[in-house]
Amino acid sequence: PQTQPLAGIKLMLTAGPTREALDPVRFISNHSSGKMGFALAHAAARLGAEVTLVSGPVALATPTGVTRIDVESAAQMHAAVMQDIARQHIFIACAAVADYAPKTVAEHKIKKTQSDAMVIELTKNPDIVADVAARENKPFTVGFAAETRDLEQYARDKLNRKKLDMIAANNVAAAGQGFNSDSNALTVLWPTGKTELPLAGKSELAILLLTLIAEKYHDTHRA
């Protein structure tokens, strides 16, 4: 039916930030609140999907009817996603995953020294959405792109490089949208087209984006 375009669909998404530990009391992270991803999880459940939400550390309540798996680091998020991805029809990567993590995690709190400088060596994290899209029987895979300039160009590059079915790009330098805001605006790209979802509350935007995802998903599975 029209109102439940995701009925019978298993949908997994990632949300929130990751935390990459330096020592037992410190970590590297970012300003993601989880609001966009949780709004998508809520909307997907309303549209009929069976929703699994893999979330970094956030201060949000789990939307009704959604199965939530809590993780901290990018490595843990990667493992949680891979564990259950085989049975998913749609995957949406909304989490702000750290691209790099400290190469070593100190067993004890790092001490202040005489030196005025300190160097932290980082190593690349696994790319969760790219690994999902590289699978043989991959789900319909949607990424996000957080950009501060040349939004469409960088997003189109991520769509192609990570072999995604769709990408939702947001300008995270503009006031009143992006990280930790209640509103957002998205430029949505897919291999053969694009559309603009203008500034709106994240709940409203989530319904619009999922309606578009459902349409494209059903297009690719009709033939």
Q: Which of residues 132-171 bind ligand PMT (CB under 6 A)?
A: 143-146, 158, 170
Residue 129 touches ligand PMT, criterion: CB under 6 A? yes
Closest distance of CB 48 from ligand PMT, Å: 23
Closest distance of CB 81 from ligand PMT, Å: 8
Taking CB under 6 A as the criterion, the residue among 6, 33, 41, 88 binding ligand PMT is: 33
Phi, psi of 79, rounded to the nearest 5 degrees? -65, -45
Could you tell me how many helices (H) and strands (E) the chain has, helices first? 5, 12
- The pair of structure tokens assigned to 130 is 């790219």
- Beta 140-147 vs 90-93: how paired, if at all? parallel
Q: Does the annotation mark 170 as catalytic?
A: no
For the sheet with 90-93, list strands across it.
67-70, 50-55, 10-15, 90-93, 140-147, 166-171, 183-190, 193-201
Residue 111 counted as an annotated binding residue: no
Contact 155, 145 (CB under 8 A): yes
Rounded Cα gap, residues 1 and 9, in angstroms: 13
Cβ proximity to ligand PMT, 48 vs 76, nearer residue: 76
Say which residues have a Cβ less than 8 Å from residue 158's Cβ, sequence separation at least 6: 143, 145, 164, 167
Q: Which of residues 41-80 bind ligand PMT (CB under 6 A)?
A: 74
Closest distance of CB 211 from ligand PMT, Å: 17
Taking CB under 6 A as the criterion, the residue among 179, 190, 207, 208 binding ligand PMT is: 179
Which of 30, 125, 137, 170 is the catalytic position?
30
Residue 129 counted as an annotated binding residue: yes
Site of interaction with ligand PMT (CB under 6 A): 14, 16, 32-37, 74, 93-97, 99, 125, 127-129, 143-146, 158, 170, 172, 178-180
Q: Any idea which residues carry the catalytic annotation? A: 30
